[in-house]
Amino acid sequence: MTWNGTVVGGTVVLEGPPPPEGAKVTVQLEAASQKSPKTLSETLLGLAGIADGLPSDMAENHDHYIHGAPKRG
């Protein structure tokens, strides 16, 4: 017999009626579930260049624009 389910908070939650108490089971991941999540660097790289309307010297003077510090140059 086969049961389908998903992992919620580290626990496998089965669909439908559960197997009998004490039954031995095997959990097999489906190929779609084995996709590894993006790394932090991949996520940040996906955000690069999407901000519009920033000053041309924003990188050099971000403290000025964000915190009001004197400009660097």
Q: What pTM was estimated for this model as a whole?
A: 0.37
Task: Report the percentage of the chain scoring pLDDT > 70.
Answer: 95
Sign of the dihedral defined by the CA atoms of residues 3, 9, 11, 16, in that order: negative
The residues near 61 (Cβ < 8 Å, ≥ 6 apart) are 55, 71, 72, 73
The domain spans of the chain are 5-67
pLDDT top residue among 37 and 57: 57
pLDDT beyond 90 at 63: yes
Cβ atoms of 19 and 3 closer than 8 Å? yes
pLDDT beyond 70 at 43: yes
Cβ atoms of 66 and 57 closer than 8 Å? no
